[in-house]
Structure 1
Amino acid sequence: ARVSLRHNGDIIHGQLVRIRADLADDSRLAGLIAEIPVDDATRTQLLLGSYVEASIDAGFIDGAIAVPRRAVGDNARVWVVDADDMLQIRQADVLWESAQQLLLSPSTLQAGDRIVVSRVSGLVPGANVRWREVDTDTGRPLEDSATPAPGNG
């Protein structure tokens, strides 16, 4: 991935080599190892271990599905309501994660699947369910299977 570093008001471009495995206990920040081309200007500005502001261009993942972290359970499994309104468990292919959300590969879902984002106990695969679509930002209901949206029933 391409990296742009801002240091002392200057922008320096380079490549992300790796992300360190250890996290700082107090801040949960990870260290990045970037390869920066060195010339006379950058040699005097950027020292090993310097703190910088970094932007990482990781590219675009076509069809990736953003879900709240709470929607993905142990061993990267997600509960889905399939096209027949039946509960199913799917193995999620996690492409990227942050503290709040994960990006899943489109191959995680089948046509008509809806991801369960609420924590509900006692779920049983194959159970028929009523579902409610919610705005992921506000948590407010948009539609549910018992009350079709206007023009759909």
Structure 2
Amino acid sequence: MPLRILCILTLIGLSGCHDANSPDKKTALVQVGVVTLKSQPFTYTSDLTGRTTATLTSSVLPQVGGIIQRRLFKEGDEVKAGQPLYQIDPSSFKATYDQAAATLQSAKALVIADCQQARRYSILVKEQGVSQQNADNATATCGEDRASVAEKAAALESAKINLGWTRITAPISGRIGISTVTPGALVTADQTTALTTITALDSMYVDLTRSSVDLLQLRKRALATNSSTLDVTLTLEDGSVYPEKGKLELTEVSVDEATGSVTLRALFPNGQHILLPGMFVHASVDEGVIENAILAPQQAITRDPKGNATAMVVDANNKVVVRNVITSATSGEDYLIVSGLQAGDRVIVEGTTKVSAGEVVKPVETRLSATSSTTQGAA
């Protein structure tokens, strides 16, 4: 009896060992978190630096020389085109004007006398009351007197202009700066030092620099949007965002040989006069919209030992496939994918360290935080 029991227990043990080592026993699949990629519109932007420049500025210079009698404005005020700014002593110019006016009146009186004589001679010469020579001389004298009147009238107009220039007016509208002269100062018509400067602040240029290589990409994206101008957003020196958006107006026609860069100019409205000439700013240029862009979460992209970007993708058979990818830019928590991934791909974002290529896994869709659809700069 004991021997029979021993045999039965031995058979049971062998059976248990066979079950434990059976290849038909199914092992549990590794669970991974995946995100299914979708195509979506993507606004490509680039960050540039630059400085503000006034759209219109004018130096105020005297047209005639003399002593400054009065300053007719307050420094820092808004002035209108044609508004008086300085008064130069007009005494000598007024005397010159009066003299020219008197000379003109004398010339006009001489015209009346000589031309009346010429008319009388033209009648008398028919009756042989005067010689033809005298009649011709009288006619010539009348013509000379008329020419003299025109000359004196031009001199009077010149004197009038010079007299008007003794009151210096604003050539443009804008904010006027510091005056370099005070009443009593002597100014000359040929001086190069401006009396003051007027700057128009209602709109402002922002000059940006970027490499010529990037400019080629900018133009391609701009053409893709069918837009002649691109939106530009400014960040000021204190970190605040300028409330108005600008437009990219023009591009310099040549490349700086020393730096390989090109200057871009954007125009911004400046009704509140927040922007002043010479400010250093950061600008974000909306270079174009990619209608069917592929964005992949950053945690789905890893680097191989050679530094190449890779992603683990779960195929239709739930098998892990490693793909080489190329990224172009970042957008929030995502990468913009240039190649290697497409819409519908399931990329692994959780559990990448627990699986390897060719392994069958259990994919679970993972919902990540909302991502932005605007790039933050080239990667």
Tell me which interval the TM-score lies in, with the shorter structure as reference length.
0.5 to 0.7
State the partner residue of 2:341: 109
Q: RCO greater where, 1 or 2, for CA within 8 Å and sep 6 or more?
A: 2
Q: Is the 8 A contact 1:64 1:104 kept in 2?
A: yes
Structure 1 unmatched ranges of 5 or more: 18-32, 139-153
1:88 paired residue number: 321
Q: Which amino acid aligns with 1:134?
A: T
In structure 2, relative to structure 1, the CA distance for the partners of 1:94 and 1:36 (3 Å cut) is same
TM-aligned CA distance change 1:10 to 1:137, over 3 Å: closer
SS in 1 for 2:285: strand
Q: Normalised by the size of structure 2, how large is the TM-score? A: 0.26
TM-score (norm 1): 0.57
Structure (1/2) with the larger helix percentage? 2
Kindly tell me: are residues 70 and 86 of structure 1, through their superposed partners in 2, closer, same or farther at Cα, counting changes over 3 Å? same
Deviations 1:21-56 (A, max 9, x none): xxxxxxxxxxxx861158xx9xx9342x6124x343
Task: Please report how far the alpha carbon of residue 116 of structure 1 lies from its aligned counterpart in structure 2 after TM superposition.
Answer: 0.7
**1:56-95 counterparts in 2 under 5 A?**
56-74=285-303, 75-95=308-328
1:45 pairs with 2:291? no
Change (3 A) 1:35 1:120: same
Runs of 4+ in 1 over 3 A off after TM superposition: 5-12
Residues 11 and 45 of structure 1, relative CA distance in 2, 3 Å threshold: farther
- The structure-2 alpha-carbon separation of the partners of 1:62 and 1:3, relative to structure 1 and needing over 3 Å to count, comes to closer
Distance 1:10 1:98 in 2: 23
**Structure with larger Rg:** 2
Partners of 1:85 and 1:91 in 2: how far apart? 19
Structure 1 Cα separation of the partners of residues 292 and 343 of structure 2: 13
Question: Which residue number corresponds to residue 22 of structure 1?
Answer: none
Residues in 1 aligned to 2:290 and 2:265: alpha-carbon distance in whole angstroms: 25
Percent identity, please. 25
For structure 2, the 5+ residue unaligned runs are 1-217, 219-229, 237-241, 252-261, 371-379
- Counterpart for residue 92 of structure 2: none
Q: The residue matched to 1:127 in structure 2 has which SS?
A: coil
Pairwise CA RMSD = 3.4
